[in-house]
Amino acid sequence: MSVPDFSTQGSLFSVAAITASLFPADDRYRLFAQRIYPCLVRCRPRLEKAYKAGSGRSAIEPVLLLGVSLLQYLDGVPDRQALEWLRYHAGWNFALNRQLGDAGFHPTTLCRFRDRLEEHGLSGICFQAVLDGLVEAGLVRRNARQRLDSTHVLGQVRRMSRVDGVRQTLRLALEDLDDVLPPDQRPEAWSNWWSLYVESRLDYRAGAESLGRKLSECGVDACQLLEWIASHPQWDARDSVQLLRRVFAEQFVVENGSLRPRGKGELDSGRVQNPLDPDATYAVKIRDGESKAHVGYKAQVAETVVERVLEAAEPTANFVTGVVIQPAHHSDEAGLEAMEPAQASLGMEAPPTLYVDGAYVSAARLVEMEARGQELMGPAQAPPRRKPDQLASDEFDVDVSARRAICPAGRANDQCSRLESQQAVQYRFEWNRSTCAQCTLRTQCLGSNAKSRTLVVGEFHTALQRRRKEQQTEEFRRRMHHRNAIEGTQSELVRAHGLRRARYRGLGRVQLQGWFAGAACNAKRWLRRVAWELSKATTSPAPQALG
């Protein structure tokens, strides 16, 4: 499709010209047309690259589709209702600079438009357009201080049992191959597989022994189908075949020519939980003694931090600077790593100070960000204790660079060894028997069978120890108050813009949802600030003339 002709010039027959008196100066649809719509128009050169000139009929105007998609997340309406509102809602037509008599389009056009955005790497174009507008308006600085936190996103699919997962993956592969395989070229067991996995369903009342046997049988059938495909490589590149190969490798192992299901301890945390959405993974979050499990994704949300006191009734001056979707089982520290390039692609600079909770803080990350001139402001997690009354590593004064450690009794170590492995570098500090023999803290420091104390710490333990001492101060607690507001932003994204539940399947499409939700949040906050500034200007007393 090729893009149609486009003009930003209004006419006497535009909705804005005819219905202008219906929308006061601080109306959000009027402000959308004045502030947000021009930002979307500036995206048109990038949107044009997703279309091919002179190819087929003219497409629906991409700026209009981008604006409709943003208004969907602002007002919380699905595709079909969005097209009804575009037909009957004067505010939407005013905001999108529509002309009287402009033709509508089918709701599936929005689906294809999202496909086009994802295919051409333009998932974040709307978010970037609004963010660039905020920067131009002076409401966001490229190098602003930020806060970061994550929240879970529920996938559209449920968690399946291992037997169900393998059976459903086999079903998808068989149905996909059935469309392309000629009847005379199918494997001999095809009719049996079709009967077992396409036409039959699993008996959920079966016992554990029966389900275990069926899992093994599924593995044998999947292995035979994959072996047949290996001898017919023209079908190997199909998505359903690649998914079957992945699920088979995650669930089964071949040892000495025999096939067996993997034990629970051998299963990977990122394995496929439901073949209808392979990207949705399983995660458990434990908070305040309660565990919450879900299948889906995790959203990392970054926001600016303005450390000034707001006036009465003044809307927030903070705006979202990044929304990154990651698999549910990924750590928050991995989310921080993913946020950095995402913000760089939006033109944002690395924040001088980043407020986070303890899940993002590690010794290596503290040292890394300090070397880059950044401050990671967050509490370090407490070291593990083998016994509640035993002295932990943070009660020792450790200087890794000097290879010196002072125990709580004030005695220095007698020996230090450097331990290097592929995973990390550690240091082992040791006190000899004579040093520990007469120590008054011996019972708190040593186990029942230990003769002397040994302390093993990481390469960057000094930075971690410094942070643990710092976080006990009142100044640190005061500064950490700036992190708390990110919880409200997450609540706003969840309750007002639907971030809690994935609208689509697949990591790429849920990422597109995250960008639109963040763009809607920023647009709403921007319009509220403009409306507040207008109301403040009209209610402020007029200046008195100098006599």
- The per-residue pLDDT for range 434-472, each reduced to its tens digit, is 888 888 888 888 877 778 888 889 999 989 999 999 999
Provide the residue range defining the domain that includes 42: 15-122
pLDDT of 545 > 80? The answer is: no
**464 and 485 housed in the same domain:** no
pLDDT of 337 > 60? The answer is: yes
Q: Tally Cβ neighbours within 10 Å of residue 73.
A: 25
Structure confidence at residue 547 (pLDDT): 40
Reported confidence tier of residue 143, pLDDT bands at 50, 70, 90: very high
C-alpha 356/C-alpha 348 separation (Å) is: 18
Dihedral through CA 124, CA 128, CA 129, CA 135, nearest 10? 170
Average pLDDT, the chain: 90
Position 98 in a domain: yes
Average pLDDT (205-234) is 92
**347 and 334 housed in the same domain:** yes
Q: Tally Cβ neighbours within 10 Å of residue 503.
A: 18
**141 and 189 housed in the same domain:** no
Position 128 in a domain: no
Exposed (0-12), middle (13-18) or buried (19+): which is 29, by Cβ within 10 Å? buried
Cβ burial 291-312 (10 Å sphere, 16+ → b, else e): eeebbbbbbbbbbbbbeeeeee
**351 and 481 housed in the same domain:** yes
Position 430 in a domain: yes
Structure confidence at residue 10 (pLDDT): 57
- What percentage of the chain exceeds 90 in pLDDT? 70
pLDDT in tens, 57-72: 778 999 999 999 999 9
Exposed (0-12), middle (13-18) or buried (19+): which is 486, by Cβ within 10 Å? buried
Q: How many alpha carbons lie under 13 Å from residue 135 in its C-beta half-sphere?
A: 16
**449 and 499 housed in the same domain:** no
Average pLDDT (238-263) is 94
Which residue blocks in 447-506 are alpha helix, DSSP H?
Answer: 461-470, 474-479, 485-497
Position 540 in a domain: no
Residue 326: strand pairing partners? 298
Position 486 in a domain: yes
**140 and 101 housed in the same domain:** no
Average pLDDT (249-276) is 93
**115 and 22 housed in the same domain:** yes
Q: What is the domain count for the chain? A: 4
Task: Please check whether residue 285 is in contact with residue 292, taking contact to mean a CB–CB distance below 8 angstroms.
Answer: yes
**257 and 352 housed in the same domain:** no
Position 385 in a domain: no
Please tell me which residue, 435 or 225, carries the higher pLDDT value. 225
Reported confidence tier of residue 539, pLDDT bands at 50, 70, 90: confident
Average pLDDT (482-503) is 96
DSSP assignment string, 88-124: H-HHHHHHTTPBTT-----THHHHHHHHHHHHTT-TT
Lowest-confidence range among 135-139, 167-171, 255-259, 331-335?
A: 255-259
Please tell me which residue, 12 or 188, carries the higher pLDDT value. 188
**458 and 483 housed in the same domain:** no
**407 and 447 housed in the same domain:** yes
Cα separations (Å) of 487 from 110, 192, 378?
31, 54, 15
Regarding pTM above 0.75, the answer is yes
